[in-house]
Chain A
C-alpha cells in the first residue's frame, strides 16, 4: 500500500532527532483548549481512536523545536491524497470534486471508518453546506415520508455508489412521555446502566451479539417507552463519487430487495471516544412480525413470511363460499326451476 510507504518514510524522517517532540508531547498541550485555544484543540481520546493515531502527529505536521514560540506556522507536511490515493482519484474526478475539500467533510483528528460512526454523524459533514431543513424541502418533491427517510437513510447511502448496506440500530431515549426520542449518548447510557459496560443494557448475557430474546427483554425492561431502537440503512464503505444516482430514484432499489437482503443487522452502541461499536443482531430479527424491531419496518422489504401465509389463508377463506356453495348450487339447479 502506498500510504504505508509514506508512513515509513515519515517515521524514518522524524527519527533523525531533528524533531524530538512526539504525539504524547503534542497532546500534552493540544489536548487542552485553554492552553492552545479552541481553534487548536485536538481531543486526545477522539484522536487516539482514529487510525491516524498510529502514525502520530508528526506524519502530517512538522514543527520546530521552539514550537509554539517560534512565531512560525506549523507546516502540514502530507495531505490526504498522499496516502488515500484511490479515494482522492475517485473524488477529484467526481462532480462534487470542486465543491468541497477532504477537510471540509473530515476532521483529520477525528477520522473514522463509516462502520464506527452513526448515520447521524455521517450526515454532519453534509449539513454545513446542505442544511437539513433545505434537504427535507428538496427531497419532499419526490420522496414520500421524507422526514422518516432522511432520519433512517444517511445521505451517502443514496449519494455514493457503494451498494453494500447493513441495518444498524441505535438506542434512542426520552425522559418524559410524549416528547421526541433522541439518540442516547454514552453519558446518558452510563447513567442509566450505572456501569461502564453500557452494552449490558441490551446484551444481557455479554456474549457480544444480540439475540431476539435479548431484544424482547430490552423492550420489556423499557416498557415505559423510555428507550427504543431506531434503524438506519448504513453503508459499509463509502465510495467518494458523491452525486445523484438514477437507481436511488427507484424506490424498489431498497423496497424490493426481498426478505433475504435485510438480514445483516447490528445494534451500534456509543463509545466514550465518540465512535460507535456494533454488536451483530440475530438473523431474522428485522423480519420478525411480533418480536424484534417494532419501530423498524421497511415496507416491501421486511415483511414477515408468517403474516403473508396467514393473510393468504384468510383470502382463500373468502373463496370458500363461492366455490362450495356455488358447486352445490350448480348441481341442484333443477330444484329451483320455476315453471310459472
Chain B
C-alpha cells in the first residue's frame, strides 16, 4: 500500500467562496435562462420570482467574489503567485501539461508533471484558465450585471458604453462563456489520481497525495 501524505491545500475562506459561488452560478444560470427565454422556460413560477432570484444570486456572487479577492490578495497574499502564469509556465509548463493531458494521460506512460502544494496548487493550464475566468470574465459579468441592476442612477455610464442593448448583450455572452466553463471545469477536476481526488480538498481542505 502506498503511503498517504496529507497537505492542507484549500483554506476555509476559499472553500466557502467556492461553493457559495458554485451555488450562485447555478442559480444565476437557471434564473437567467428563464429571464431570457420566458416564452419557452419557466422554472421559478413567475417571471418576477426569476428576476428577484437572479438579482439576489448576483449580489451573493459579487460579494463572495470580493471575499475571494480579499482573501487571496490581502490576507494570503498569494493571488498573483497562485493564479498568474509565470513566463516559465507559458513557455514550457503549459506545453508539458497539455502533452500530459492529451497524450500521456491516455497512454498511461507518464505521471502528471504538476504536483500540488499550498503555494503552487494549479498546473500551468489551470492557471491560464482560472486567471481568465476569475480576473476577466467574472469581474466583467459582475460589472455588466451591476449596471443592468442600476440603469437609472448609472444612465450616463450606460450611454457611454453604448446603451442597454450592448450591456445586456455582453452580459449574456459572458454568462454563456461562464456556463461553458462549468462542464469543462467539472470534467478537468475529475482528472486527478482518482476521479474525486480534487473534489475532496475543495470540501475538507486536505489533499491526499500518493507518495512516489
Residues on A lying within 8 angstroms of B by beta carbon are 142, 144-145, 147-148, 177-178, 180, 225, 228, 250-252, 255-258, 289-290, 292-297, 299-300, 303-304, 307, 310-312, 314-322, 325-326, 328-329, 332, 335-337, 340
Contacts and interface: CB of A to CB of B under 8 A. Distances in A.
A252 B38 contact: yes
A328 B106 contact: yes
Interface of B: 2, 35-39, 46-48, 51-52, 55, 101-102, 105-109, 151-152, 155-156, 159-160, 162-166, 168-169, 172-173, 175-177, 179-184, 186-188
B112 to A, nearest CB: 11
10 contacts: A251-B51, A293-B165, A310-B173, A314-B177, A315-B176, A315-B179, A318-B182, A320-B184, A322-B183, A332-B107
A321 B105 CA distance: 14
A319 B38 contact: no
Given A256-B39, A315-B176, 5 more contacts: A178-B156, A300-B35, A312-B176, A332-B108, A336-B105
Given A295-B164, A299-B35, A321-B183, A336 B108 contact: yes
B184 A304 contact: no
A311 B176 contact: yes
Nearest to A179: B156
A335 B108 contact: yes
Given A145-B151, A225-B159, A340-B2, A314 B173 contact: yes
B105 A329 contact: yes
Contacts of B37: 300, 303
A315 B48 contact: no
A257 B39 contact: yes
Contacts of B109: 335
A-B residue pairs, 6 tightest by C-beta: A318-B180, A294-B163, A335-B108, A256-B38, A251-B47, A322-B187
B158 to A, nearest CB: 8
Nearest to A325: B187
Nearest to A310: B173
Contacts of B163: 228, 294-295, 297
B48 A144 contact: yes
Contact of B165 (A142, A296, A319, A325): A296
A325 B151 contact: no
A148 B173 contact: no
A23 B47 CA distance: 54
Contacts of B2: 340
Instruction: Indicate the member of A257, A318, A332 with the most B CB atoms within 10 Å.
Output: A318
Contacts of B188: 321
B62 to A, nearest CB: 18
Contact of B184 (A145, A293, A295, A322): A322
B183 A148 contact: no
